Amino acid sequence: MTHKTPQIVDQHGRPHTYLRISLTDRCNLRCFYCMPEEGIELTERAHIMSLEEIISIAKTFVGLGVDTIRLTGGEPLLRKNFAFLLEELSKLGVTLKLTTNGILLDKYFDLFEKVGLKKINVSLDTLDKAKAAFITKRDYFDRIMLNVQTAIKRGFEIKLNVVLIKGTNDMEILDFIRLTKEENIQVKFIEFMPFKGNQWDWSKGVSEEEILQIAGEHFEGVKALENGPHSTSKNFRVAGHLGSFGIISTITNPFCSGCNRIRLTADGKMKNCLFANSETDLLSQHRAGVPLEPLIMRSILDKKFSRDGMDLKMDAGHYEQNRSMIAIGG
Q: What is the CATH number of the domain that holds 89?
A: 3.20.20.70
Mean pLDDT lowest among 25-34, 36-45, 205-214: 36-45
Mean pLDDT lowest among 59-68, 78-87, 305-314: 305-314
pLDDT at 228: 86
pLDDT at 194: 78
Closest CA to 157 of 98, 76, 78, 73: 98
**pTM assigned to the model:** 0.92
Domain that holds residue 131: 18-325
301 pLDDT band, cuts 50/70/90, is: very high
pLDDT at 29: 85
Closest CA to 144 of 31, 22, 238: 31
Q: Is residue 10 part of a domain?
A: no
pLDDT tens readout for residues 284-295:
999 999 999 999
- The span from the CA of 87 to the CA of 114, in Å, is 9
Q: Is residue 6 part of a domain?
A: no
Q: Is residue 120 part of a domain?
A: yes
pLDDT at 307: 85
pLDDT at 6: 84
Question: Span 80-84, mean pLDDT?
Answer: 97
Whether the link from the prior residue into 13 is cis, omega within 30° of 0, is no
Phi then psi dihedrals of residue 197, to 5 deg? 80, 5
46 pLDDT band, cuts 50/70/90, is: confident
309 pLDDT band, cuts 50/70/90, is: confident
- The span from the CA of 278 to the CA of 23, in Å, is 20
pLDDT at 202: 84
Q: What strands, in cross-sheet order, belong to the sheet with 261-264?
A: 222-224, 234-238, 244-248, 186-191, 157-164, 119-123, 95-100, 68-72, 18-22, 261-264, 269-271, 280-281
Q: 271 in helix, strand or coil?
A: strand
36 pLDDT band, cuts 50/70/90, is: low
* Dihedral sign of CA atoms 67, 19, 125, 136 in order: negative
Q: Is residue 2 part of a domain?
A: no
314 pLDDT band, cuts 50/70/90, is: low
Question: Span 218-222, mean pLDDT?
Answer: 94
Residue 2 has pLDDT above 60, yes or no: no
Question: Span 43-47, mean pLDDT?
Answer: 80
pLDDT tens readout for residues 93-138:
999 999 999 999 999 999 999 999 999 999 999 999 999 999 898 9
pLDDT at 143: 97
How many structural domains compose the chain? 1
Q: Mean pLDDT, the chain, as a whole number?
A: 91
Closest CA to 88 of 52, 116, 64: 52
Residue 235 has pLDDT above 80, yes or no: yes
Q: 97 in helix, strand or coil?
A: strand
Percentage of the residues of the chain whose pLDDT score is greater than 90: 72
pLDDT at 216: 96
pLDDT at 313: 65
Q: Is residue 9 part of a domain?
A: no
Q: Is residue 237 part of a domain?
A: yes
Residue 324 has pLDDT above 70, yes or no: no
Q: Is residue 314 part of a domain?
A: yes
Q: How far apart are the first and last CA of the chain?
A: 27
Residue 330 has pLDDT above 70, yes or no: no
Give bridge partners of residue 188 from the DSSP assignment.
161, 246
Percentage of the residues of the chain whose pLDDT score is greater than 70: 91
Q: Is residue 154 part of a domain?
A: yes
pLDDT tens readout for residues 184-201:
999 999 998 877 767 778
